[in-house]
Amino acid sequence: RPQYFAFDRLMRMRTINNPRMITSRNLQHADNIMDVCVIGAGLSGAYAAHRLLANGKSIAVVDARHRIGGRLLTAEEQGGGDLGGAWIWPRSEYVMQQFVKQLDVKTVPMHLDGETMVRTPDGERHILPSGEAARYAACGGEAVRVSGGAASMVEKLLMQDDDTPNLSIHLGMQVVRIKHDGDVIIISCTNSESNKIDEAMSIKCRTAILAAPPKVLANTIKFHPPLPKKKIDSMLATPTWMEDYGKVSVSFPQNWWRRLNMSAISIDQKGAVSTWWEACSGQDGDGSHATLAGFVTAHGASALQKMDSTAIHDHILDSLTNLYGVDAAAMGMQRDVDIKINGSADTDGFIVSKGGITVTYKSWLDDPYTNISSCEEVDFTSDYGDRELQQSVGPLFFAGTETALGSGHMEGAIISAQRSVDEVMQHLS
């Protein structure tokens, strides 16, 4: 199995070694006319680019983040827990099942063996016997996860195509304007770290796939000519998957829950993290450390916003000790160890390492490329897969999990990529 590095480190390394990898520190105007510009380097955008390259098209991929992956984000150096999309349901998601086989992705069943824990709002702890975990798991009893983290799939898609001259990847570049008139689209970008709206780079292409959340696209890009009102209103009315959630990943020196015959599945109605599960076993190549992961709801995120990084580490560890009935020392906590803090909850997550236990917290609620205030209010809500979300506009095509029927799962990203690529190929022919 190829070794996967943390995305920000990987992308910095590749930017230095690969002149086609352009970041905000190496700005230029792209004079060549590309066949397709893909806006968004998440799973949907990466798969669309991969399929188009296989069809001999020249591709530019643009993303405002300084990494690939979009809402797939793996805390790889901290153990391997997923901070974004994580689960696949093979029995009901045939398209996703075929995709992981095609990509030769190793999946791991959710760990459900052992006792399950519940903490009620009054702080009382309840132990449920073995065999109950599937009923209480956030993903249900039939989900699998990607060994090493779901974000590795995006990296694998773009790694396979890394040596082709038909691909360029532009990270840290936010698309602010799309103008299409005649046979050429001009996509204007600005440095996503800058407060200035001056154009930093432009890309010319024949078609474009917009593979970012519809509401984000509608609020951040000026279209010339404007998109039809029904189209833009539907985009504004579509909730973005994960926009009001956060995720926590906690890695440990040892897998203490399996040793104690626990499933790690738990429900916590008192702490900021509402439910927990095993994100990596730390065994047989499944992550570098034993890792738990959990959901942070909007209510929990509000509570964590009031704490500094060290306080969040202490709060989460205290919640875990009370929820599982295991003291910190038994979890591997060491005394008199330096505290290391880096990162930010609104970007790729902040990381607090203390006493050998590392807490990583990613707030999608505070992520400017996921949760965004609308510039214009609409009085209805669009369902995922709404026909208006899928509808192309001239040479502009739309992908992303919100444009596919379903619940925002990774399968929706793959289905939408397949549809948009078919539409682009027909348009170019």
pLDDT digits over 259-271, tens only? 999 999 999 999 9
Question: CA–CA separation, 249 vs 56, rounded Å?
Answer: 40
* pLDDT value of position 210: 98
* pLDDT value of position 175: 97
Q: What confidence category does residue 177 fall into, taking pLDDT thresholds of 50, 70 and 90? A: very high
Q: Which amino acid is at 105?
A: V
Name the pTM for this structure: 0.91
* Mean pLDDT computed over 292-317: 92
* pLDDT value of position 338: 82
* Mean pLDDT computed over 56-70: 96
Q: What are phi and psi of 246, to 5 degrees?
A: -140, 170
Model confidence pLDDT, tens digit, residues 339-361: 999 999 888 999 999 999 999 99
pLDDT above 90 covers a percentage of the chain that reads: 77
Higher-confidence residue of 148 and 22: namely 148
Question: CA–CA separation, 144 vs 406, rounded Å?
Answer: 18
Report whether 235 contacts 214 (CB < 8 A). Answer: yes
* pLDDT value of position 326: 97
Q: What confidence category does residue 196 fall into, taking pLDDT thresholds of 50, 70 and 90? A: low
* pLDDT value of position 335: 82
* pLDDT value of position 402: 98
* Mean pLDDT computed over 91-118: 96
Report whether 21 contacts 15 (CB < 8 A). Answer: yes
Whether pLDDT at 171 is above 80? yes
Whether pLDDT at 118 is above 90? yes
Report whether 276 contacts 359 (CB < 8 A). Answer: no
* pLDDT value of position 17: 29
Question: CA–CA separation, 418 vs 47, rounded Å?
Answer: 8
* pLDDT value of position 191: 92
Question: CA–CA separation, 154 vs 45, rounded Å?
Answer: 9
Q: What mean pLDDT, rounded, does the chain reach?
A: 89
* Mean pLDDT computed over 373-395: 91
Q: What confidence category does residue 5 fall into, taking pLDDT thresholds of 50, 70 and 90? A: very low
Query: Which of these ranges, 125-129, 294-298, 390-394, has the smallest mean pLDDT?
Result: 294-298
* pLDDT value of position 305: 87
* pLDDT value of position 2: 26
* Mean pLDDT computed over 382-397: 96
Reported as type and span, the H/E element at residue 360 is strand 357-363
Whether pLDDT at 371 is above 80? yes
Strand residue runs (E) in 52-196: 59-63, 74-75, 81-82, 87-88, 107-109, 115-119, 125-128, 144-146, 167-171, 173-181, 184-191
**Per this entry, what is the length of the chain?**
429
Which residues touch 49 (CB under 8 Å, ≥6 apart)? 36, 38, 59, 61, 157, 158, 161, 167
Whether pLDDT at 119 is above 70? yes
Q: How far is CA 405 from CA 213, 216, 230, 235, 288, in A?
A: 14, 19, 19, 15, 35
* Mean pLDDT computed over 173-191: 94
